[in-house]
Amino acid sequence: MGEDMGHSQGDNHGGLSAERLEAIRRSWVDAHITPLWETPVHRVAKGAPRGHHWRWSDLRPMIDDAIAVTSTDNAERRVLALTDPDGRGVRSTVTTINANFQVLAPGESARPHRHTANALRFIVEGAGGVTTVDGKECLMEPGDLIITPGGSGHEHAHRGQGTLVWLDVLDAPLHQYLGTQVFEPGPSNNLPPTIADSAFTGAGLAPVLEGPQAAYSPLFRFPKAAWEAALQAAPAHGDGARSIRIINPLTGAPAMPLMDCRLMRIGKGQPTAAMGSNANAACFIVSGHGRSRVGDEVFEWAAHDVFTMPGHNVVSHECLSDDATLFFASDREVLRRLDLLVEERVNAKDMKA
Ligand SMILES: [Fe+2]
């Protein structure tokens, strides 16, 4: 273990009687005071937090079970939350980020609400779903990405056939830690005006708007066809990977101010450069089969699996199918704004075997 600030074996308590010592300790407890030299709060954990891997092959049957167990009449949201087995107190998938799978049966809807947490939806299966964000309807087709930024009113409805499933990613644990979480159930009567998606049809062209604008993207839906085209055309990095970010077209900043979202395509036989970062990320496998090294562990993944990349791990990815597409949501932007972000490419020779 690292540094231990607990009291030492040789501490003779200055010759105090046991009764006096007990009285002193009681006074600390009563006054909500913690003597750090008697409390191992300054232990320095060895090694980085461990990532965790959830396989779609395990999860998919649980989605049918969730439909059997409850309905949206009973639940605000029918959500299966991926919960870090190493989490310490606050439920999260990886530190500041939650990843869940949400389910609607045909004809069901998830009622309107709004909250301070930023959220996104990556549609996994089903057709005919609609997410309404600040009053603007967004179709939910497999592969589409839809954001519901913090403060936006949103609801979901399944108007098609078959089970509708999507990945939710939220920064709710961050708000829980900061005490900034606010949840308002029901429809909102003060939704801000929205801008038609057609106002952004031309790449590099944006409307000039009057007055202050929301901190988040006026585009809420990023259709699969659009990001596929952008990803395919993105220049390859030295390791062969192509990556794009989901941005606010008015500013070039991340589409939601505190969550960085990226898509990456990798080809067979060329592992990505090993990267170290202190940001925390959840990775959703959009398509393909491969494996990722996260610190000392290797996760072999397939489509729709989720694994986590806790900060302070060195990470690299390798495709074992013709190609693979990975989606990352991270708290990188939170750390960057706080001037705390540390990222570096790691030479292969410096990595552990
Ligand atoms: Fe929500």
Distance 229 CA to ligand 1 centre (A): 29
CB of 60 closer than 8 Å to CB of 125: no
Distance 257 CA to ligand 1 centre (A): 17
Distance 338 CA to ligand 1 centre (A): 26
Distance 307 CA to ligand 1 centre (A): 22
Distance 300 CA to ligand 1 centre (A): 31
- Give residue-wise pLDDT tens across range 150-178: 999 999 999 999 999 999 999 999 999 99
Tell me the pLDDT band of 10, cut-offs 50, 70 and 90. very low
- Give residue-wise pLDDT tens across range 120-143: 999 999 999 999 999 999 999 999
Mean pLDDT to the nearest integer, 297-304: 98
DSSP letter, residue 118? -
CB of 318 closer than 8 Å to CB of 339: no
**Cα distances (Å, whole numbers) of residue 128 to 33, 165, 180:** 57, 11, 34
HSE-up (13 A, CA, CB side) for residue 188? 19
Is the pTM higher than 0.85? The answer reads yes
Mean pLDDT to the nearest integer, 310-317: 97
Distance 115 CA to ligand 1 centre (A): 6
- Give residue-wise pLDDT tens across range 210-232: 988 899 999 999 999 999 999 99
What is the predicted pLDDT for the residue at 352? 47
HSE-up (13 A, CA, CB side) for residue 227? 25
Tokens coding 37: 């030299």
